[in-house]
């Protein structure tokens, strides 16, 4: 609807939505806003909720928990489930739909709505037995030969959010996250759902047995090489998510001593107390696990995000305990797997460090740089012709066993990181020393990131438009060339001598992100150049004042 709708228009929109909303709490939420009309705050709130539907894209759905079409609620999820079921029927997909969920507010209800609607469509629906990490659901899609999988999670988003991630099975879907045109095709089926109350439902869905979870644990344990060192002391945190028990069980299954967890962050809690953004990349989120690691004299600290598809690691480094950057751990894991003799494609994304490409080139290993996201990383073999053996993205996502989980997996990644630390310890080396060895051989690659979080998404669109209309020719002392990646993806690449910057909107959060890389001969030179680059780039990214 163009412009701001009137109070009467909003009353009509909300009334029609309420009539078809299956959730009494959501209906009451909207009715309270209607009772407040024509109050300006109520008008603004309703206008935002009804300015359009929550968009279904390659990340599925993700948004704030609230009533109305522009939020995560049972009515929106019900339409998504009905649209997905219709899409699978239309493309002739065979097999059930398996649905998993985490411990966020609404996750279990959204999962139940999904299996009831899928089962009601005439297709078998399978519900995971309890709240479990996203990688378990991704594993189950292949293990159960499912047509599709749905994971109800908002991953590392704030407590007030939830989401709906879709995987497609079979040879075409690769048991991986959806990519175009499937996202648009599913979205069209969702938009075609009119009266949700008329969608058939069934309670004849099945609950998945524990054997699938046990197979996942075994596959994760098998990602570690037989006979490799296991002597390593690890501490961990689940960040109030659902990965705590699974991580401990996987370590024990693989023959490691169980990590010592941060006790007050081990159990699931949808409020994520003390963590406004429960993402290990955010400043301060790993403080408690780092303190525990120092207190216990551990060799390694591991943090999973709330749905445990990401893995962050910290270790004793020069100057004390430090969290590894995503690119550092990615290069270390790739190097470790190569030294284990693991062959196949090694892949990362255009916003990650280019160091992996340099390593692969020298060692004669197939390499691919893909668009951002694991939905593209797992399709890297289309570039190389060799099966994917390892993939990573700088946002602490790692696929160390893509044959089992064709997505990022924070559980198996934690195990292989522990194997790496144990192997280096047995050699009398360390994570710091191995990084130094790699930098000595390939040059010092330093990466960083600038994120601009906004309340108004038009600021992001405006900044990208400004940079396209007036592309910079210099960033500080560097002359740069600009490559526009449209229409493949909304990103700009700025490159110069020893410098590369990728600027793009976040796909899951209201952020504009800039990914920075400098290449130098020493850590000191790289640090100095990065400081200069960050300062100069910030001036380019911030919209000019009028």
Q: Which residues are known catalytic residues?
A: 155
Longest dimension (CA), the chain: 73
Which residue is associated with the tokens 């759902």?
A: 193
User: What are the structure tokens assigned to 482, written together?
Assistant: 């600009």
Question: How far, in Å, CA of 150 to CA of 112, rounded?
Answer: 11
Q: Is omega for the bond preceding 487 within 30 degrees of 0, making it cis?
A: yes
What does the alpha-carbon distance between residue 299 and residue 236 come to, in Å, rounded to a whole number?
11
Secondary structure letter of residue 5 according to DSSP: P
Measure the CA–CA gap between 346 and 357, rounded to whole angstroms.
Answer: 9
Task: Please choose, from the candidates 353, 495, 516, the residue with its C-alpha nearest in 3D space to the C-alpha of residue 438.
Answer: 353
Cβ-count burial of 510 within 10 angstroms (0-12 exposed, 13-18 middle, 19+ buried)?
Answer: middle
Q: Given phi > 0 = left and psi -120 to 50 = alpha, else beta, which region is 440?
A: alpha
| Apex 391 CA angle, 159 and 324, nearest 5 | 60
Torsion angles phi and psi, residue 301, rounded to 5 = -120, 135
Q: What is the DSSP string of 461-508?
A: HHHHHHHHHS--SEETTEE-EEEE-TTTSS-EEEEETTEEEEEEE-SS
Please name the residue that has the structure tokens 């280096």: 424
Whether the CB-CB separation of 285 and 447 falls below 8 Å is answered with: no
């Amino acid at each position: 609807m163009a412009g701001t709708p009137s109070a009467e228009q909003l009353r009509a929109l909300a009334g029609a939505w309420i009539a078809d909303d299956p959730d009494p709490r959501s209906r009451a939420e909207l009715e309270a806003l209607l009772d407040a009309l024509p109050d300006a705050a109520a008008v603004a709130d309703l206008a935002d909720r009804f300015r359009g539907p929550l968009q279904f894209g390659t990340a599925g759905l993700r948004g704030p928990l609230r009533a109305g079409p522009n939020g995560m609620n049972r009515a929106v999820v019900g339409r998504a489930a009905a649209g997905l079921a219709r899409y699978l029927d239309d493309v002739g997909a065979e097999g059930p739909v398996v649905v998993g969920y985490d411990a966020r507010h609404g996750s279990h209800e959204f999962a139940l709505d999904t299996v009831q609607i899928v089962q009601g469509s005439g297709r078998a629906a399978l519900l995971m037995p309890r709240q479990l990490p996203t990688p378990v659901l991704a594993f189950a899609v292949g293990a159960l030969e499912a047509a599709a999988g749905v994971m109800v999670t908002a991953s590392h988003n704030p407590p007030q959010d939830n989401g709906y991630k879709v995987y497609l099975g079979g040879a075409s879907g690769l048991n991986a996250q959806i990519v175009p045109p499937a996202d648009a095709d599913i979205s069209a089926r969702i938009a075609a759902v009119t009266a949700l109350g008329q969608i058939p439902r069934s309670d004849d869905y099945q609950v998945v047995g524990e054997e699938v979870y046990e197979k996942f644990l075994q596959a994760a344990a098998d990602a570690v090489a037989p006979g490799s060192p296991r002597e390593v002391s690890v501490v961990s945190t689940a960040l109030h998510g659902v990965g705590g028990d699974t991580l401990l069980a996987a370590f024990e299954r693989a023959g490691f001593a169980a990590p010592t967890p941060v006790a007050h962050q081990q159990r699931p809690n949808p409020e994520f107390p003390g963590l406004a953004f429960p993402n290990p990349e955010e400043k301060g989120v790993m403080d408690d696990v780092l303190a525990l690691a120092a207190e216990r004299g551990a060799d390694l600290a591991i943090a999973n995000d709330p749905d445990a598809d990401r893995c962050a690691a910290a270790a004793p480094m020069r100057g004390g305990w430090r969290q590894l950057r995503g690119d550092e751990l990615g290069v270390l894991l790739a190097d470790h797997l190569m030294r284990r003799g693991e062959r196949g494609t090694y892949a990362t994304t255009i916003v990650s460090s280019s160091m992996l490409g340099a390593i692969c080139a020298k060692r004669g290993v197939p390499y691919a740089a893909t668009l951002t996201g694991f939905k593209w990383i797992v399709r890297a073999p289309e570039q190389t012709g060799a099966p994917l053996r390892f993939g990573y993205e700088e946002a602490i996502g790692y696929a160390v066993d893509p044959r089992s989980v064709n997505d990022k997996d924070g559980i198996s990644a934690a195990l292989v990181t522990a194997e790496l630390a144990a192997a280096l310890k047995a050699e009398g080396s360390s994570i710091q020393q191995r990084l130094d060895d790699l930098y000595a051989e390939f040059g010092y690659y330093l990466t960083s990131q600038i994120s601009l979080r906004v309340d108004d998404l038009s600021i992001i669109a405006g900044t990208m438009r400004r940079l396209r209309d007036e592309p910079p020719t210099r960033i500080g002392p560097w002359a740069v060339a600009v490559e526009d990646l449209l229409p493949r993806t909304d990103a700009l690449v700025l490159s110069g001598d020893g410098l590369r910057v990728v600027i793009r909107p976040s796909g899951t959060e209201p952020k504009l992100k800039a990914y920075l890389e400098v290449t130098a001969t020493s850590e000191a030179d790289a640090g100095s150049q990065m400081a200069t680059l960050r300062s100069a780039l910030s001036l380019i990214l911030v919209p000019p004042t009028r």
